[in-house]
Structure formats: structure tokens, C-alpha cells
Chain A
């Protein structure tokens, strides 16, 4: 499945992308520190899921994903965040999942397994199947 990562904290950006790279069927199709870039990227790349921090500085991750969803209403939004504050709104928004930092492998696995289930047919990773072995 194809994932886009938006996080303005570099340390946690590195950590999340590293953890995602353990999955042979996950392709990180793009990432950025800034929501403005992300908006453009995501519209072009059309990932299966957007992983996003809620705290992004000027524009909150929540607002950013709301805006992106106006264009891509079916985009699955997964919050990966230090803040619990947006969880209720995330339900209202019908976000796909909400994970607290520090991210654990086990919790991430749960998200990936669920994503796999819903993405099922439209996973188009390119020859990543053997990366793990």
C-alpha cells in the first residue's frame, strides 16, 4: 500500500518512516515537513493513506487533512501524534486511525493489518515483495 507521511518533527519523521520501511508491502510514496507541500503532493500522488501529525505549526495537521479530504474524500487519514486532543474530532472526521507517539511496533502493526484489509485490491506496490528477505 502507498503511504504519504506528513510530520514537522524531524526525529519522529525519521522514526515513523523507518518503522514503515519494515513492511514489505508498504511503500512510502512521499513525505514532507510542511502541510502546504503535502497538500500538493498528496493530490498528485493519491496515496492509500496519509500519516499525519496533528501539530504542524501554523496549520494544524487536523486542518490540513480536512483540506486534503475536500479533494480526496476517500483518503484514509492516520494520525500519528503526541497529542490526544484531536482524537474525538478524528472520529467525527472518520479518520482511519489515531496513534500516539512514541509509536510502538505492535500498535503500528494493527493499523497496517487493517489498512491491508481495506486496501486489498488496490495495493500497487512495485516489486517490493522480496525486500524483506
Chain B
């Protein structure tokens, strides 16, 4: 676990660092003499735990903790202070511990033990994290939303079968997941799922579906809860990750730097099982599905180029062929495939690739390839 220490007094920082190093369980990543410096660093460095002094000029430790809580809820906070009177606030801020200066090594060891309990399963659940990419941790999603909605059992390492009594229950579950953890008014749900039904009947259906989802969660994903308050519902995840959200978030970080993060890209592309909720044809899912498809397209193409430039031509070809199956009319894929075959020294396959593409466009769309694509073909002939 990676720790950051924040204290405006240098000697206190050094003392704490020495104790932490002696304990050996945490890796001290940085010492900061102001809260602002610490917060800026959090944008760049992945940190698991922050040791935070309270009495500091400018931004004090409580304010800093509040900021960290809001922006990085996964980070554990331990206050280290000469003041005893802020312990109630520390609880409010969900701090893991509150250490009074001067700190002894025994008390510190206790605090460190609490962090590991708190960060709990998160770390254990990770399959082989990539050693190359420091910021990347390969996560295995517990809910699958690519192609079709499925629950994944992380222990058994397989999808577990869910019997949906009605397709509406399933759609409700998917929709609540789609909305992340937001409150959705019950009227909106009724409008979406039971439009043509009299209101009281629709309400009963909604109620039954909610009941079914809760039952399912209890056995399948007990960390998750479906809440109801003030005529609204929301689905809390606990620490369950959905593949689509995880991939979407990773796409944003990886597009443009696939060459630096090959292991991360490999893992992320391997999670793509098909379009977002594609099997279900939900109209409300379309715009996110399109966005994800575009991102996947960009990243795969970029990654194929990276592989080609590295000399892993076979790998590049495999990626491009898989992409072409989903995007048969994409000119860029065809061009990339041709130049990759060419780089592999196989002009014949490159030409065949073009001919098949031209034929496909002609037969299925009644169009012809773009000039740029034709030029590559002519160069090959």
C-alpha cells in the first residue's frame, strides 16, 4: 500500500516516515508540507492512505480530508495531530484512525493494521496486476454489461445463471445500473417500463420487480443494495464493478497512450464481449453503446498500430480482424489491415483484404472504397 504524509512541520514528517518504514507494511510515496501540495500530488500518484496533520496554515487537515473524501473516496485517511478535540469531526469524515502526537510505534502499527482491514478485499481480488503500468490495476468486474447483462461470480470465476421472472425486472435492473448510483423517481421508471398500463397496475409490477431484484442481490451480490426513499430508487454498488463503467473509464485514460500501457490495453480490450447491452435492444442504452463502440474502435486501431510498430505483426492482425468483424465497413480498419499485411511481407493477403472489402461495400452498401484506401491497394499491385 502506498502512503502519503502531510504535515507542515518537517521534523514531524521525518519522524513519522521513519516509524512507517520500520513497520514495513506501507510504502511511503511522498512527504508534503502543505495540504495543497498533497492534493495536487493525488492527481498524479495513486495513493492508498494519507496521514494527515490537522493544524496547518492555509488549508487545515480537516478541510483536506473533506476534499479527499469527496474526490478520492477510496483513500484511507489517518489523522496525526497534537489536538485531541477533533476526533468527532474525524469520525464524520470517516477517518480510519486518529493518532495523537507524539506517536509511538505500537500505536502506529495498530493504525496500519486497520488500513489493511479497511481496504479489505479490493486488493486481494485483483488478478495479476500489470507490473509495467504503475497506475493500472487489472480489475475483474462483478457485473457484465457488454453484449448481455450477467452477474459474474468472482470466487467461482464464472457467470452465474439468473432466472429473471420477467424481462421487465431485468430491464429495471439494467436501467438502475445504467444510471450508476443516482436516485431515479419511481414515475420515471413506470413511464419507461410500463407505459401503457394503468398506474396502480404499473406500480404493482414495479414493486414486484424491485422485490425480485433485492432477492437476487441478497444471494448473488450481497454488497449491493436497492434503496427506496421519497418516491425514488437507486442501486448502490458496494464495491462491485461493472465491466462497462470500468472499461469506459479506462478507455479515457488509455486512448492516445496505448504504446505506454500495453498490458492495460490488453486487459481492457479482453473485457469487451460485444456492444453495451446489445443483446437486449434497450433504446435508452443506445447513446452509451455508441460512445463505447467508438472508443473501443479508436483504442483497438491505435493498439494494432503499436503492435505493428513493435514488430508483433500477428498480434496486430488478430486485433484488426476481430475489429473488422464488428465494423465490416470501416475504411480505416481495411487500410490498417492492408499496411500490416504489407509490413508482414504478405502483399497477396493485403490485396485480398482490399478485394473482399471492395466487394462487401459494393454488394451490401452499393458504394466504393475511399480514394485513400484505393491508393494503398494500387501501391500494392
Residues on A close to B: CB < 8 A? 24-25, 84, 87-88, 90-91, 94, 97-100, 107, 110, 113-114, 116-117, 120-121, 123, 129-130, 132-133
B98 at interface by CB-CB < 8 Å? yes
Determine the chain A residues whose CB is within 8 A of the CB of B238 once the complex forms: 116-117, 120
Interchain CA distance A62-B88 in the complex, whole Å: 15
- The reply to whether A98 and B91 contact each other, CB–CB distance below 8 Å, is yes
| 12 residue pairs A–B, Cβ–Cβ below 8 Å | A25-B225, A88-B98, A91-B98, A97-B91, A98-B87, A98-B88, A99-B91, A100-B88, A110-B92, A116-B225, A121-B223, A132-B228
B167 at the A interface (CB under 8 A): no
Interface string of B210-228 (1 = CB under 8 A from A): 1100110010001101001
Q: Closest CB of chain B to A51's CB: distance in Å?
A: 14
- Give the 3 A-B CB pairs with smallest separation, nearest first: A87-B87, A98-B91, A91-B98
A113→B210 contact, CB < 8 A: no
| B380 contacts chain A at the CB level, 8 A cutoff | no
Cβ contact of B94, chosen from A90, A100, A114, cutoff 8 A: A114
B192 interface hit (Cβ, 8 Å):
no
Other A-B pairs, 19, CB within 8 Å; known A90-B87, A91-B98, A129-B214 = A24-B228, A84-B85, A84-B88, A87-B87, A87-B88, A87-B90, A88-B100, A98-B88, A107-B92, A110-B92, A113-B236, A114-B94, A116-B225, A117-B238, A117-B239, A120-B222, A121-B222, A123-B222, A133-B228
Q: Is the CB of B211 within 8 A of A129?
A: yes
A24 to B226, CA, bound (A): 10
Question: Interface range on chain B: under 10, 10 to 19, 20 to 34, or 35 or more?
Answer: 20 to 34
B88 A94 Cβ-Cβ under 8 A: no
Contacts of B236 in A (CB 8 A): 113, 116
Task: Tell me if B211 and A130 are in contact (CB < 8 A).
Answer: yes
Complex Cα distance A130/B226, Å? Answer: 11
Chain B residue at smallest Cβ distance from A105: B229
Q: A120-B238, A132-B228 are in contact. Are A88 and B207 (CB under 8 A)?
A: no
Which residue from chain A places its CB closest to the CB of B91 in the assembled complex?
A98
Considering the chains assembled together, what is the distance between the CA atoms of A81 and B238 in angstroms? 28
B48 within 8 A of A: no
How far is it, in angstroms, between the C-alpha of A42 and the C-alpha of B168 when the chains are bound?
42
B359 located at the interface, meaning its Cβ lies under 8 Å from any Cβ of chain A in the complex: no
Residues of B within 8 A of A116 (CB): 225, 236, 238
Closest to A113 in B: B236
In the complex, per-residue mask of B221-245: 1 if CB is within 8 Å of any chain A CB, else 0: 0110100110000001011000000
Question: Is B97 part of the contact surface with A, judged by Cβ < 8 Å?
Answer: yes
Taking the nearest CB of chain A, how far is it from the CB of B207, in angstroms?
A: 6
Q: Which residue of chain B has the shortest Cβ distance to A94 in the bound complex?
A: B114
CB distance from B121 to the nearest CB of A (A): 10
Q: Which residues of chain A are within 8 angstroms of B222 by Cβ–Cβ distance?
A: 120-121, 123
Residue B250 is within 8 A (CB to CB) of chain A in the complex: no
Please give me the residue from chain B that is nearest to A132 by CB atom. Answer: B228
Q: Is B84 an interface residue (CB 8 A)?
A: yes
B228 cross-chain contacts in A, Cβ below 8 A: 24, 132-133
On whether the beta carbons of A133 and B87 are closer than 8 Å, the reply is no
Residue of B nearest to A87 (CB): B87
CA distance A91 to B94 in the complex (A): 11
Instruction: With CB as the reference atom, state the residue of chain B lying closest to A24.
Output: B228
Separation in Å of the A19 CB from the closest CB of chain B?
Answer: 13
Pairwise interchain contact B84-A88, C-beta atoms closer than 8 A:
yes
Question: With a CB–CB cut-off of 8 A, which chain A residues contact B92?
Answer: 107, 110
Give the chain A neighbours of B87 by CB distance below 8 A. Answer: 84, 87-88, 90-91, 98
Chain B residues with CB under 8 Å of A25's CB are 225
Bound-state CA distance A117–B218 (Å) is 13
Q: Which of B49-94 contact A (CB under 8 A)?
A: 84-85, 87-88, 90-92, 94
Shortest distance between the CB of A7 and any CB in chain B (Å): 18
Bound CA–CA A62/B151 (angstroms): 43
For B84, B88, B218, B223, which residue has the most chain A Cβ atoms within 10 angstroms? Answer: B88
| Bound-complex Cα distance A110 to B236 (A) | 13
Most buried by A among B84, B85, B225: B225
B85 touches A117 (CB 8 A): no
Q: How far is the CA of A39 from the CA of B114 in the complex (A)?
A: 26
Nearest CB of B to A32, in Å: 24
Contacts of A91 in B (CB 8 A): 87, 90-91, 97-98
- Complex CA–CA separation, A35 to B239 (angstroms): 36
Contact in complex: A133, B207 (CB < 8 Å): yes
Residues of B within 8 A of A113 (CB): 236
